[in-house]
Structure formats: structure tokens, C-alpha cells
Chain A
Amino acid sequence: MNDFALTTAFDAVRRIAVSGAENPSAVLLICDASLIDRVEADLVIEFRVQTALDPRLLPASQIDPRHAAEVLSSEHRPTIITVKVWPRGLFESLDRHVVLLTNLGPVLILASAKIANRILRSAPNLSSRLADVLRVATDPGEGSSI
């Protein structure tokens, strides 16, 4: 997983903002499991500063896979899904209903390398629609677009 391009919270949101913060898109962001909360907080700040939008925060553990599609499509603002432990059935469900993501705003999936690996393997339809798979650096000097 270390071969994916490195980015920062600033750059990740900037990429989304340039293609329109209201347009549908899905991005998988990989970071160290212990830093997920910090990266999530950084992303929230970046969304507020760069797009003036308050993103919706959705821990994957709180999404019922049977209602994942309804939960996600209930709001149009950017959504950050944090995945700390593998949510049984969630990504399989999103994979089957990936067409519903076309009705949403941007969705950022924030996960550790191990979980990101599992997402890419178990959800081929979703994976093929991801605009990007990026590693997030927490040190500002570390990130670059390529």
C-alpha cells in the first residue's frame, strides 16, 4: 500500500474542490490507523476553509449495511467515512449499490492500509469508480501530489 501517491489533507480537499465540492466523487484515503482521528480533524478544517462546507462525519461502525444506501443518500454535503475496524457487509453493500453514490456529493473513505487493502479487494465496482486512492501524510513537509 506504500506505493500509492502521498498527499496531505490540504491537497486531498483541494483536489475535490477543483472538481466541484457538490459533485459526486469517491476517494479512498489511507493513513496510519493511530492517526485516523487527526487526519479526519484536518480534513474537516480543510473543507471549512477551502469550500465553506461542513462535512458530515460517519464512522463506518455506525452505518447499518442494510441501510447504507439510504444513510449515504440522505445528505448531499461532503461525507467522511472513517473505517477503524472492518465493518462486516458495509463495503459489499456499497459495492452492490454503487450507482446510488452518483446522487451524492463527495465521499472520502479514511482507512488504515490493511482495511484499504480489503476495501479494494472486496468492492471491485466501488474501486473502479474511485477518483483516487491516496496515502495521507500528517507531516506538512511530506505530502506532494505525485
Chain B
Amino acid sequence: MQIRSPEFDRRQVYRPLLERLNSMSSVRRLNGDDLIVPRSHDPLEAQEPPIHIAFAREAELTRGIQMALVGGIGSGKTTEMWLTERQLNRHPDAVNILVDIAEKTDIGELNTGAILATVGLELYARLKKKPGELSGEIASAYAKLRTLAYGKTDWVAEENLDDEDYGERAIRVDVPGLMRLRFPALRREVKEVKDLVDTITGPLVDQDAQITVLIDGLDRLSPERFREFTEQDLRAIKRTRISVVVVAPLVLWYDKSRFLQEYFDVVKYIPAVAPGLEGRSFLREILKRRGSSELMEAPQVNSIVKASGGVIRDLLTLVRTAASNAYGDDEDRVRPKHVNAAISQLGHRYLVGLGVKQRRILMRLEDFDELPTADPVALELLANRQILEHFDHGRQSFEVHPALKKVMPKRT
């Protein structure tokens, strides 16, 4: 029996660990606490540098390059973007901007030109911080850009609201050309925004500055919308010397049209961490950095690593749930029963909403090691992590998420 001093407060045992495992913590905060474990190489190619190093090198050497990053939910895309920015920041003349588009605007109601406008507004904010006065031309371009981005309200007397003010009414007539353009023409509003962004970035381009814009959150757009923004907003930037890294929807990685590979100069993919020796040791290192060894034994850590399927967010969720369970049981350490309960909890989350079609695909994968990647249902299972893709020494494999496998109803 453990004898505790009256001052013993179990919260002080669990609180630091739970705070370090919080999946809502921002990457900046995690870095401040030195909790990030960067990958040692590209997850697909062991001979290649880690994604953030590769992105930074390309942006440093090829101005105007456009790169895309894809990966499942919780695979570490935001972390890679953040590490890329940090790598680029080592050069004092570099102007690097990392934005999550969802923090700036409602991405459900985004219009083409909005991403480009965000880039312009962010670059202006950066220019303003630099010493020296900005020209009137730049200030005026910024004011116009702000109006285009956020709109404005004018009060017009009713009697002045005359059709004549708006010129003659026109009807759009499209005359199809002989050739189909590889990418559609830039829309008028996108061109307008692009001209303003060009004016704002003028001084930076004149100084030969290395400008890189990293845009997170675009993976939450539908593939069709992402394509539209790429063909408009990103293509408009392509004509400038600004380099771009964007997070793209995972579904496009498997798309037959190969749009990502066709449009972007570099495309990188983060699969779930492979279950081999190296992968397991990487996952254990992440848990060690977060302090899990203070509260659980090696066998529990190994069970969690295995059940996570190599999905980093799931790895952290499992430890957090297990620790929370142990705290709820008034225990000082995490026991196997707490880990098992956490795995079951996670598995049931993945089990929710699986219909006959989904189960059939999971069973086919289990029994015959087959996955119809052209099937939209299979793609959804991949995007939602019920099915995981691994690459081990260049060899691709798929598996049902181990936590889901554990709770799937047994077949008779």
C-alpha cells in the first residue's frame, strides 16, 4: 500500500504530461517546449532529406517554385510546414509567411482571388515592419486590396441609384476557341488582385529578397475547389518570384488525373509512420520527448505505438486517454488496462458510421491485401484514416487501422 503525504496532489503528476500531449496545442508552443521530433528523411525515400529540408532548399534555390504537401489527418503536415518556415528563417534577408487560411477566412465561402489577396495583405504587414517609409503607390495598392478582400459599404442616396450609373447592361457571350487551354484563363478579379500584389511586393522583389509563402489548411477544401484555387490564385503567383508551399487534399494524391504532379513543381507525401524498427523508434522518441516514460512502462508504450498505426495524432491521443483513464482511477501510473481501454476508445471512434460498403472494403484488405484506390469509398477510408498507407524502404502497403481492427465485430 502506498503511503502519501497529506500534500500529495495527483494532478501535479498528470497535468504536465496531459498538457504536453494536447492535440489542440499550436506547433509554435510545442516548439517552444522543444517537443517536436523532426523526421530524419523523406518518409517515401530514405535517401532523400526530410520534407522540410527539401522544401526549404527548393525555395532557396528556385524562386517562384510551387510545392504541395499531402498527408492524412494528424500525420504532421502543419509541423512540416512550420519546420520549413523555421529552416527558411535562417537567412536574414528571407521573407517567409506561414498562414492557415482557416484562421483568415471562412474557407467554405471562399472566392477565387481570396488566397492571393491574403498573400498580399500578409506581405504588406511584413513590409510595414521594415524600417523606412512605404511609397504612396504601395499604400494605395494595399487600401484597394483590403477593399477587394473584405468589401466595403457605401451610402448612396436612393435617387442616385440609377441604372445609368452602372452603364449599359451587357450579356455575356462565350465564343469557344480552337484549343482547350491547359489551365483556364485568369479571372478578372484574380488579375486585379495580382496587379495589386505585384505593387506591394515590388520593393521586396527589387531588393532580390527570397519570398516564400506557406499556406496551410487548403486540404480542407474539396478537391474541385482546391483545383480551382490552384488554377487561379496560385497560377497568378507563379508569374511572380514568390515561392509557394501549400497543403493539398489527400484525395488528389490518388487522383487519376495526376493534377498535383502535373501542376506543382514538387509534391511531397506524408504517409503514416511505417511499423518497422526505424518507424517504431521514431514514435517512441516522440512519446519520450512528451514525457510518457514518466508515467508508463515500456510494454505500455510499445502497445500504444503499435495501436497508433503510425498516425502521430493517434499516438498522442492514445497516451492522453490512457493517462486520463489512470487519473480517473486514482492511480499513480498508467496500467495495461488503461492502455487497452484507450485503444478500444480510439477504435470505436473509427468504427462509427462504417456501412456495408466500407466494411466490405476493410474485409477485402484484411483477407486479400487488396485496396481499390480508384473507389471513392476506399479513398474516404484512407482520408479518414480507417485505412492507413505505409511506405517502408520504398515498399507501399495498406492496413486497417490497428485500433479499428481491434474493435471490429468478429466474423463468424
A interface, CB within 8 angstroms of B: 1, 3-5, 7, 11, 14-15, 17-20, 23-26, 66, 69, 89, 92-93, 95-102, 117, 120-121, 124-125, 127-133, 144-146
Q: What A residues does B384 contact at CB under 8 A?
A: 124
User: With A128-B74, A146-B329 given, is the CB distance from A4 to B348 under 8 Å?
Assistant: yes
User: With A24-B22, A96-B108 given, is the CB distance from A18 to B74 under 8 Å?
Assistant: no
Q: What B residues does A92 contact at CB under 8 A?
A: 108
Given contacts A4-B348, A131-B324, list 8 more A-B pairs with CB under 8 A: A3-B344, A5-B345, A11-B328, A66-B106, A96-B106, A124-B73, A127-B349, A128-B74
Say if the beta carbon of B243 comes within 8 Å of chain A: no
A-B complex: 8 closest residue pairs judged by Cβ atoms: A145-B328, A121-B353, A19-B18, A24-B24, A146-B341, A120-B352, A97-B102, A3-B348
Picked from A66, A89, A121, A131, the residue with its CB within 8 Å of the CB of B23 is A131
Say if the beta carbon of B383 comes within 8 Å of chain A: yes
Contact A128–B220 (Cβ < 8 Å)? no
Contact A97–B325 (Cβ < 8 Å)? no
Contact B353–A125 (Cβ < 8 Å)? no
Picked from B25, B313, B328, B352, the residue with its CB within 8 Å of the CB of A146 is B328
Q: What B residues does A24 contact at CB under 8 A?
A: 22, 24-25
Contact A99–B313 (Cβ < 8 Å)? no
Q: What A residues does B186 contact at CB under 8 A?
A: none
User: With A96-B108, A99-B103 given, is the CB distance from A18 to B15 under 8 Å?
Assistant: yes
A130 to B353, CA, bound (A): 17
Interface bits B344-357 vs A (CB < 8 Å: 1, else 0): 11001101110000
| Between-chain CB contacts (< 8 Å), 5 pairs | A23-B25, A66-B109, A97-B103, A99-B100, A131-B321
A130 to B349, CA, bound (A): 10
Interface bits B25-43 vs A (CB < 8 Å: 1, else 0): 1100000000000000000
Kindly identify, within residues 55 to 101 of chain B, every residue whose CB is under 8 Å from any CB belonging to chain A: 73-74, 100
Picked from B19, B25, B109, B324, the residue with its CB within 8 Å of the CB of A102 is B25
User: With A3-B348, A26-B24, A131-B23 given, is the CB distance from A96 to B325 under 8 Å?
Assistant: no
Q: What A residues does B19 contact at CB under 8 A?
A: 19-20, 23
